Amino acid sequence: MKNLQTQQVRALKEGLQGPVILPGDYAYEAARKVWNAMIDKHPAAVVCCTTTADVVHAVNFARNQGLPLAVRGGGHNIAGSALCNDGLVIDLSEMRAAQVDADARRITIEGGATLADFDAATQAHGLATPLGINSTTGVAGLTLGGGFGWLSRKYGMTIDNLESAEVVTAAGEVLHASATEHPDLFWALRGGSGNFGVVTRFEFRLHPVGPNLLAGLIVFPIAEAKQVLQQYREFMDKAPDELSVWVVLRKAPPLPFLPESVHGQEVIVLALLYTGDPAQGKALVEPLFRFGVPVGTHVDVMPYVAWQKAFDPLLTPGARNYWKSHNFSELKDGLFDTVIDYIARLPSPQCEIFFGAIGGATTEPAPDAAAYAHRDARFVMNVHGRWNDPADDARGMGWARDFFKASAPYASGGVYVNFLTDDESDRVKAAYGQNYDRLAQIKRQYDPANLFSTNQNIRPA
């Protein structure tokens, strides 16, 4: 592990409003922990930025000193891009302020905010925008990779609702990027991951949502998985954009509405949210209950913010996580057989396979409208390996990799960049498809020395 020299530390601290955490400091171990416990990196310093000026100073220091640089928003990225070894970490977690203009339906929010911060601010006004499904996720990382969730079929990807961004570039410049200011940078930020600078502030368009919506879970035994999946496929072909239904296959957690005899057994779960009138939603989702014989159901009107946090208990920090992902334009029977086969071999009770239904409004922009290219994807599959003991790494990772390979023939190509792990640099071009070459050109303009490389890296052209 590399330590900064005394004079370097002095130069770094000068002019900063936020503190600097160094190896040996009381807060250092906590500062280098992220959501995924498989990430074990030792930065030379962590700068806890409180202002955009702090970020500018930290970027300039890292560039001038030739140090590796990482940017931490929520620290939730599966690949651990929030940290680096022997370099500088810009920690934005103290920059979480949000301002909502309810009349204009806009929110301005800082780069260290979480989805929970965003939803709390906007739902106070009955507004929201599409975000992810784990409230501890950072707004910045989610957005810069594209972003999708329960509202995406109705209102698009998170990036489709981004109006502007304040960006600190590799040169230490503070730019305002939008459709009319630095439009090439704005294009790249919408899906280009953290390759183009540090986004210190976002402005999003908002939509009337909730505050109470129909949502919940329908749980079937794994023996009915294939018929449930087949009926799900047909149902989603005709489902309105206001309805999102995802599929999760895993061992049943001890949810209060499930009989004890089901706990720990393999199940297939339909997770749903309807953004329209709950009474209409109840009639619309009624066929889902007849896909099989449920072993438990919990579908009711609830606060949107509660549903946004519903999966948090299954995604707490500190576990070891390893993912593999595919996009699908359609779901075929052969894929269903493969999924059922691998669910019977789950390496730990925390592992799961899920299919997130997107489509709808996410398919409306052209593939080159933003850096995110995969507008033909109707489903995103994530193989979520999760366990606690490092001794289980080989088994868990092997299971995920084997299933990824077995399911590949049914995939439509491409991958969601936020689901790429740290051993998948070979898939970065697949994440951007036809847009990769343009991204590399923009990278050369804004970061020619590749200062921002601790990410799913796009090399300058």
pLDDT (tens digit per residue) in 340-356 = 999 999 999 999 999 99
Region 437-443 average pLDDT = 98
Q: Which two tokens stand for residue 341?
A: 């086969």
User: What pTM did the predictor assign?
Assistant: 0.96
Which among 21, 166, 19 is positioned nearest to 97, based on CA atoms? 166
**Tens digit of each residue's pLDDT (9 = 90 or more) over 128-174:** 999 999 999 999 999 999 999 999 999 999 999 999 999 999 999 99
Domain ranges of the chain: 6-91, 98-209+434-446, 212-419
Q: Which two tokens stand for residue 117?
A: 């911060």
**Tens digit of each residue's pLDDT (9 = 90 or more) over 239-279:** 999 999 999 999 999 999 999 999 999 999 999 999 999 99
| Residue 15: pLDDT band with limits 50, 70, 90 | confident
Q: What angle do CA 120, 126, 131 make, to 5 degrees?
A: 55
% pLDDT > 70, the chain: 100
In CATH, the number for domain 6-91 is 3.30.43.10
Predicted local confidence at residue 64, as pLDDT: 96
Region 177-182 average pLDDT = 98
Predicted local confidence at residue 232, as pLDDT: 98
DSSP 349: T
Predicted local confidence at residue 290, as pLDDT: 98
Whether the per-residue pLDDT at 79 is higher than 80: the answer is yes
Which among 122, 350, 347, 160 is positioned nearest to 252, based on CA atoms? 350
Q: What average pLDDT is seen over the chain?
A: 97
Cβ–Cβ under 8 Å, residues 250 and 283:
no
CATH topology of domain 98-209+434-446: 3.30.465
170-205 burial, b for 16+ CB within 10 Å, e for fewer? bbbebbebeeeebeebbbbbbbbbbbbbbbbbbbbb
Predicted local confidence at residue 4, as pLDDT: 87
Predicted local confidence at residue 1, as pLDDT: 65
Predicted local confidence at residue 218, as pLDDT: 99
Please report, for residues 61, 245, 265, the alpha-carbon distance to residue 223 in angstroms, rounded to integers and kept in the order given: 58, 20, 11
**How many angstroms separate the CA atoms of 77 and 451, rounded?**
19
Whether the per-residue pLDDT at 22 is higher than 90: the answer is yes
**Tens digit of each residue's pLDDT (9 = 90 or more) over 192-211:** 999 999 999 999 999 999 99
Q: Which CATH class is domain 212-419?
A: alpha beta
Predicted local confidence at residue 3, as pLDDT: 84
**How many angstroms separate the CA atoms of 199 and 79, rounded?**
19
Helix (H, G, I), strand (E, B) or coil at 364: coil
Residue 29 has φ and ψ, to the nearest 5°, of -60, -40
Whether the per-residue pLDDT at 413 is higher than 90: the answer is no
**How many angstroms separate the CA atoms of 425 and 428, rounded?**
5
Is the torsion defined by CA of 115, 119, 120, 121 positive or negative? Answer: positive
**How many angstroms separate the CA atoms of 37 and 384, rounded?**
14
**How many angstroms separate the CA atoms of 122 and 4, rounded?**
42
Predicted local confidence at residue 9, as pLDDT: 85
